[in-house]
Amino acid sequence: MRKAAALLSLLGHVSAAAPERPMLWPLPQQVASGSDTVVIAADAFDFQPASSPSQELQDAFGRYKAQYFKRRAPAPPAAAVAAATVAVDNDAADLQLGVDESYTLKVSADGIAITAKTQFGAYHAMETLSQLIIFNATAKAYVVNNAPWSVTDAPRFVHREVLIDTSRHYQPVASLKHIIQSFTYAKVNTMHWHIVDAQSFPWIAPSAPKIALGAYSEQEKYTIEDIQDVIEFARARGVRVVMEIDTPGHAASWCSGFPDVCPSATCTMPLRPDTNATFELIEKLIGDLAKVAPDAYFHIGGDEVNTDCWSQNADTVKWMDANNYTAHDGYLYFVQRVTQIVQKLGKHVVGWDELWENFGTQLDKKTIIHQWRANHLAVKPAVQAGYQVIWSNDGPWYLDHEDQTWQSMYEANPCDGLTDKECSTFVLGGGGEMWAERIDESDLQNTIWPRMGAIAERLWSSADQTQVAADAEKRYAYFRCYLNHQGVGAAPYNNPLARTNPPVPGSCYLQ
């Protein structure tokens, strides 16, 4: 008892630049705290499931214990909390859009208790607990300040993504795994994998291996096993992977292996709509991915389609004339054929907002419209026509725009102009888009983080608590330092430009 009293006395006299009160990010829906300090027994701590846990949940227990207790500490007093009870209704739930991610977390001197409907909610609870557990270096102890804590939480939006572009610059598998792990710290639940584009085709498709002739080099290609490995790694952390193959534009890299699907050697895209070879190849590619990517959604792109090259291919012109098609009709035909392929493979279609602008209600009603262009607002008319949408506006939510501050990202509203009912019914969520023209492994982390945290909180937390960036600034600065402690190279939080170096020596919490 004397050891416990001495430790608590020491804890009460510690000062530091970092705030002693834990600051949670993203902000939970409901949270209450007190004024006590609870010591955690790092050496003996364990999770105690209410029933025999699935292997996924067992693995998560091990990951989070390692995340909580990174530093050596002497044995704590006998009164320290040594366990967290975990009760999950279904710990083998399928990871799909809309899966229940809710949880409750209670922390007091009497113990720690987690409840959740699925293992994915339990993961979020364990992450919130990670942000509460602090290592006090002076006392050499793991503690939770401001106990007791009571958290009741669930996301506002079901789709919270980061787009990762692996065509403009190849990202090694290890890099993808590292960035997926970082998603969990902000409760981001989706990696939108823009795997190919005009610049390179870095994937050896089993059904069409020649397509990888469009890769930059032999060392910059994914195998199907690599893709499956990344998807399984993500799933184990509650992160969906939505694959994208952008068509008919952004496809110049296809021409190296399959020149016949391109208009000409010098005018390479969009892909030809007049030959079945194009759609047979697309079906092979999407089919290969469908075998390893269990998510119910597939992104077909459809953006930035300039049909001028079609006029340079005599067969395409002949086909359009025979069908009395304009170039616009050919574009619609292409989108409808690819939609049929995706649906045949048991997936739902997601596409960029040009699809709505060009075709409106001619699109299949289950098509999800992904808004990206700041000056072409598809959300309101699409919603009013009964289509669901995702919001990733070019400007505030494009992570490659280094001049976008975290404040502008935080205060962007995916439901601007919509009623509350329209927002909750038709807006699935959104995310930050990490286009990679100037991004590779060397600067991926500090371009995404910490600014993606601003987007993540807007997508997770209640709207009425996350309106003003200034109100969140202290927590945001704290979150940046939390990321650093987890091994994420998050840039200084108040940078005028993303990924800028710290301006002067100083505390992480003040830069």
In this structure, the strands spanning 103-108 and 111-118 are antiparallel
Strand partners, 32: 150
pTM greater than the 0.85 cutoff: yes
Strand partners, 149: 107
Determine whether 20 is exposed, middle or buried from the number of CB atoms within 10 Å of its CB (0-12, 13-18, 19+): middle
Confidence grade of residue 20 (pLDDT, cut at 50, 70, 90): low
Q: Which of 344, 21, 404, 25 is nearest to 185 (CA)?
A: 25
CB atoms within 10 A of CB 92: 12
Strand partners, 116: 88, 103
Amino acid at 51: S
Instruction: Give the C-alpha separation, 174 to 19, whole Å.
Output: 34
Amino acid at 505: P
Tens of pLDDT, residue by residue over 365-416, are 999 999 999 877 789 999 999 999 999 999 899 999 999 999 999 999 999 9
Ordered strands of the 46-49 beta sheet:
30-32, 149-153, 103-108, 111-118, 83-90, 46-49
Confidence grade of residue 2 (pLDDT, cut at 50, 70, 90): very low
| Residue 118 token pair | 């699925």
Looking at residue 22, its pLDDT comes to 78
Instruction: Give the C-alpha separation, 227 to 225, whole Å.
Output: 5
Helices within 293-428 (DSSP H only) = 314-322, 327-344, 354-359, 379-384, 406-411, 420-426
Active site residue 304: yes
The CA distances from residue 216 to 247, 288, 482, in Å, are 20, 21, 36
Residue among 220, 280, 304, 411 flagged as catalytic: 304
CB 244 within 8 A of CB 289: no
Tens of pLDDT, residue by residue over 248-290, are 999 999 999 999 999 999 999 999 999 999 999 999 999 999 9
Mean pLDDT for the chain overall: 95
Tens of pLDDT, residue by residue over 314-353, are 999 999 999 999 999 999 999 999 999 999 999 999 999 9
Q: Which of 376, 348, 375 is nearest to 363 (CA)?
A: 348
| Residue 394 token pair | 């070019």
